[in-house]
């Protein structure tokens, strides 16, 4: 841990960093936002597809995006790292660098961790954040009439995974699986407005995660598939592989886009993809396309 700690600069809001029984970080709001995510080798990543640095970036992003989806400003990461005893030290160093660099995107520090031996690599990342005096944005606030918006890109990580699975390791889009490009700043601008009623980090796939909002809020959500932006590169990769790019966009996880519901005007840098409606009497799927068949949520494709 000492070797790793030496790679980790600490921001001024860290009172006690790595190397003691616990870290101490500022929580000026008087509340702390806290979340944990686990990435496991062979399920979330493969060492022949992703570097230690890639895994660090991605593991940090998964937890940082959760804090941002609550309306929080990430401050600190804690990392549990289980790895085979014969893992090269360079891999662990690169992991720490990746965690540090992804945290730095939002001004957060890696403040502590625990390293232990195991047969396969598992990386647990806890992210802590501050609410700056605002209410947390939960999944439960969506109401009929709200618009559904997306911040950030969708379908890229699913395309990247499909490309890796087909042996296209050097395809530029394969990097989208290795390291998500998360639009933290866009989500933070959205959260700073007063019109957001619910928000979620899209980690399981858009349909699945909007389903979580619908369930928590007791509403239904109608989407128009033609409003879901399909990036040209994603469409091209789908054509190459004979896949449906809309499926990647609607059910692929791991891009860590943000889906939210807003009252009133749609912010300029968000994409409106649907509308919140009252729950049907008697049920039916709570998230559905109005213009085509709704695919099975499936979502969150792992490769094992």
Question: Which residues are near its own copies by CB under 8 A?
Answer: 15-16, 19-40, 42-44, 65-67, 69-70, 72, 76, 78-82, 111-114, 116-120, 122, 124, 126-129, 131, 136, 138-140, 199-201, 216, 304
CB of 27 to its own copies, least distance (A): 4
Give the count of alpha carbons within 13 A of 157, CB side only: 33
Q: Which residue number, 40 or 277, has a Cβ lying nearer to its own copies?
A: 40
CB of 240 to its own copies, least distance (A): 30
CB 293 within 8 A of CB 207: no
Burial label, 166 (beta-carbon count in 10 A; 0-12, 13-18, 19+): middle
Q: Which residue number, 150 or 246, has a Cβ lying nearer to its own copies?
A: 150
d(CA 257, CA 90): 31
CB of 238 to its own copies, least distance (A): 27
Q: Which residue number, 28 or 193, has a Cβ lying nearer to its own copies?
A: 28
Shortest CA distance to 61 belongs to which of 45, 49, 47, 46? 45
CB 56 within 8 A of CB 96: yes
Q: Which residue number, 194 or 304, has a Cβ lying nearer to its own copies?
A: 304
Q: Which residue number, 183 or 231, has a Cβ lying nearer to its own copies?
A: 183
Helices 52-69 and 89-105, axial angle in degrees (round to 10): 30
CB of 239 to its own copies, least distance (A): 32
CB of 219 to its own copies, least distance (A): 16
């Amino acid at each position: 841990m000492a070797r790793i700690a030496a790679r980790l600069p600490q921001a001024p809001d860290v009172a006690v960093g790595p190397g003691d029984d616990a870290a101490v970080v500022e929580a000026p709001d008087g509340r702390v936002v806290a979340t944990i995510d686990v990435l496991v080798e062979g399920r979330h990543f493969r060492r022949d597809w992703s570097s230690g640095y890639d895994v660090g970036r991605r593991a940090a992003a998964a937890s940082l995006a959760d804090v941002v989806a609550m309306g929080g400003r990430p401050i600190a990461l804690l990392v549990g790292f289980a790895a085979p005893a014969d893992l090269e030290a360079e891999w662990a160093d690169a992991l720490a660098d990746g965690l540090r660099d992804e945290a730095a995107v939002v001004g957060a520090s890696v403040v502590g961790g625990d390293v232990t031996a195991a047969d396969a690599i598992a990386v647990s990342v806890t992210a802590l954040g501050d609410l700056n005096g605002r209410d947390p944005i939960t999944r439960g606030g969506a109401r009929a009439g709200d618009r559904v918006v997306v911040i950030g890109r969708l379908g890229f990580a699913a395309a990247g995974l499909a490309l890796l699975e087909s042996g296209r390791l050097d395809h530029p889009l394969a990097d989208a699986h290795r390291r998500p490009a998360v639009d933290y700043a866009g989500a933070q601008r959205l959260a700073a407005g007063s019109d957001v009623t619910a928000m979620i980090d899209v980690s399981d796939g858009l349909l699945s995660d909007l389903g979580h909002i619908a369930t928590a809020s007791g509403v239904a959500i109608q989407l128009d598939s033609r409003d879901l932006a399909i990036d040209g590169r994603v469409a091209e990769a789908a054509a190459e592989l004979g896949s449906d790019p809309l499926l990647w966009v609607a059910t692929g996880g791991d891009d860590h886009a943000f889906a939210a519901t807003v009252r009133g005007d749609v912010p300029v840098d968000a994409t409106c993809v649907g509308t919140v409606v009252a729950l049907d009497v008697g049920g039916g799927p709570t998230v559905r396309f109005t213009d085509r068949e709704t695919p099975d949520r499936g979502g969150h494709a792992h490769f094992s």
